[in-house]
Chain A
C-alpha cells in the first residue's frame, strides 16, 4: 500500500498577528494537518524573496507567508511592502511554470484561529495531488 504523499510546507508567520492567530487555533484545540512547520518572523515585511526560493530549493513542497491585515501591522506598514514584494515573487514563480498553489500568502490576524486552521487545511489539500516539488528542489 503506497504511502500517501504528504507535502512538506514551511510557513513564515509574523509574530504579532499570524503566529498569534496560529496560537489561538491551538488554544481553541482546532485541528489541522501537521504538514506545516512554522518559522516565526517579526513582520511579514521581513520575509525576503530569498527565503521563499531557498525553502523551495531545500525541498519544501509549499511555502506560506502570513502577516497582519493591511492597516493592522504592528510595525505600521511592513505588510504593505510585503504585499508588493510577494506579489512580484508570485508572478515570477508562476511565470517559470511553478504550480501557483505552491506559494501562498495570507492575512491572518491574532483573532483568526479559525481562518488559520482553514488556510492550512486548504493548503495541504491543494498540494497533495501535485506531488513532491521537484522543479526547484536541489537533488542531493
Chain B
C-alpha cells in the first residue's frame, strides 16, 4: 500500500531542501471525483496531494512542457522537476530518456505502485452510476471499489470500472524511479492483449467495419496528439501548422511543407492521420491511455497503438519503455527479424 503520509513527507522534504524546481502530483478534483494535476512549489501545498484510484492523468506529459519552457528562458533553472508517476507513466519517461528529449538529471521520479489494482475509467464509472454524482472512491474488501455519492455508498466490482489498460497491465509499478512507494507486485494477467484479440479475430471486412465506424466520428481535434507525451514534435508531419509562415520563410521552405492530408475530417483522411500516428508511435507508445481518455468522441485509440506494441514484442522481442539505454524499435534490427511476409 502506498502510504500517503510518507509520500507527502518525501515531497515536502524535496521542496524544503530545494532539490527540485517543483513537483507535479495529483490533488482532489474540483469537478467531481477525478483528481487533477497539481504543481507544488511551496511546502504548504503538499497537504493537497492525493493518491487514489482517480489519479488517471499521465503527469509525464508536463515534462514535455517543462522542456519547452526552459528553452524559452535565457537562464533556465537547471534543477530537476519532480514528478509522481504510476507504472505506465514511468515508461513514458523511459521513452523520453531513450530519445534524449530529457536527460536523467532533468527529472526526479517519485514512483507509486498501483500494486494489484489500478485507476478507474471515468466513462465506465459514469455509465455504472447513471445519474449519481460520485464524490469519493475507496478500495473495498473483496476486489471492489466503494463509491461515495451524495445519497450514500455503492460497492462495485473493481473489474467493471477499472480502466481496461489496468486490467491488462503486467507491471503495476514504475520501471524507473528515484524513490518508490508501494510494493512491486505483479498483477496476474492471463492475457495482456485480450481486448486487442477481440478485434484481431474479426474477419477482414469486420475489422474494416469496426474501424470505419470508430474513426468516422473523428473530428480531427488532435486532442489525442496534444495529450500524448510522445507527440512532442515541434511540427506534426501530417499537419504542418506550428511553424508560422513569415516574411522570412523562403519559397523553398514554403514549397517543402507537404500537404499529405486534407484538413477536413473525411474518413480517408482520418484513417491516414491515425495510421501515421500509430506507426510513429510504434515502439514508443506505453499505453498510458491518455489519448483515449481525452478523445471527445470516444474512439478506442489505445487499441490502435497497442496493436503495434504487441507486434513489437512478438515479431521483434522488443519491450516498449523498459530500458532507456536501448535503441528505439525502428533504429535497430535483428538478423532474425521475420520476413515471411516478403516475397
Assess whether A88 is interfacial by the CB under 8 Å rule.
Answer: yes
Q: Chain B contacts of A139 at CB under 8 A?
A: 266, 268
Task: Verify A88–B282 contact, CB threshold 8 A.
Answer: yes
The answer to whether B276 has its CB under 8 Å from any CB of chain A is yes
A81:B275 contact, CB within 8 angstroms: no
Interface range for A: 35 or more
Describe A's contact surface by its main secondary structure. helix
Of the listed residues A90, A91, A94, A122, the one surrounded by the most CB atoms of chain B closer than 10 A to its CB is A91
Cβ contact within 8 Å between B260 and A54: yes
Q: Check B200 against A95 for contact (C-beta < 8 Å).
A: yes
The one of A93, A97, A98 that contacts B209, using a Cβ cutoff of 8 Å: A97
B14 at the interface (CB under 8 A from A): no
Residue in chain A with minimal CB distance to B314: A91
Total contacting residues, chain B, CB less than 8 A:
43
| A104 in contact with B343 given A92-B308, A97-B205, A138-B266 (CB within 8 Å) | yes
Contact between B271 and A135 (Cβ–Cβ < 8 Å)?
A: yes
Contact B316 A57 (CB under 8 A): no
Within residues 93 to 132 of chain A, which ones have a CB less than 8 A from any CB in chain B? Answer: 93-100, 104-107, 119, 122
Which of B89-97, B114-122, B126-134, B332-340 is the interface stretch?
A: B332-340
Let me know if B262 is at the binding interface, CB within 8 A: yes
- Do residues A88 and B275 form an inter-chain contact, with CB atoms below 8 A? no
In the complex, chain A residues whose CB is within 8 Å of the CB of B311: 87-88, 91
* B268 engages A137 (CB within 8 Å): yes
B245 within 8 A of A: no
- A87 and B315 contact, CB distance less than 8 A: yes
* Beta-carbon contact of B211 and A105 below 8 Å: no
Q: B207 near A77 (CB under 8 angstroms)?
A: no
Query: With an 8 A cutoff between CB atoms, is B237 at the interface?
Result: yes
Contact between A96 and B271 (Cβ–Cβ < 8 Å)? yes
With both chains docked as a complex, state the minimum distance between the C-beta of B338 and any C-beta of chain A, in angstroms.
7
Q: Is the pair A49, B276 in contact by a Cβ cutoff of 8 Å?
A: yes
The yes or no answer to B243 lying at the interface (CB within 8 A) is: no
Q: Does A53 contact B (CB under 8 A)?
A: yes
Instruction: State the CA gap A135–B213 with chains docked (Å).
Output: 12
CB contacts under 8 Å to A, within B169-192, are none
Whether B341 and A90, one on each chain, are in contact in the complex, defined by CB atoms closer than 8 angstroms, is yes
A70 and B339 form a contact (CB under 8 A): yes
For B307, the closest partner residue in chain A by CB is A95
Given the complex, which residues of B lie within 8 Å of A89, measured CB to CB? 279
Closest to A88 in B: B282
Complex CA–CA separation, A57 to B238 (angstroms): 13
Among the listed B200, B272, B333, B339, which residue makes an inter-chain contact with A81, where contact means beta carbons less than 8 Å apart?
A: B333
Instruction: Please name all residues of chain A whose beta carbon is closer than 8 Å to the beta carbon of B333 when the two chains form the complex.
Output: 77, 80-81, 83-84
Least distance between A64 CB and chain B CB atoms (Å): 9
Specify which of B211, B272, B335 is in contact with A57 (CB 8 Å cutoff): B272
Closest to B209 in A: A97
Whether a CB of chain A sits under 8 angstroms from the CB of B342 is: yes
B211 A97 Cβ-Cβ under 8 A: yes
How distant is B52 from chain A, measured CB to nearest CB, in Å? 35
Closest 5 CB pairs of A and B: A97-B208, A97-B207, A106-B343, A80-B333, A49-B279
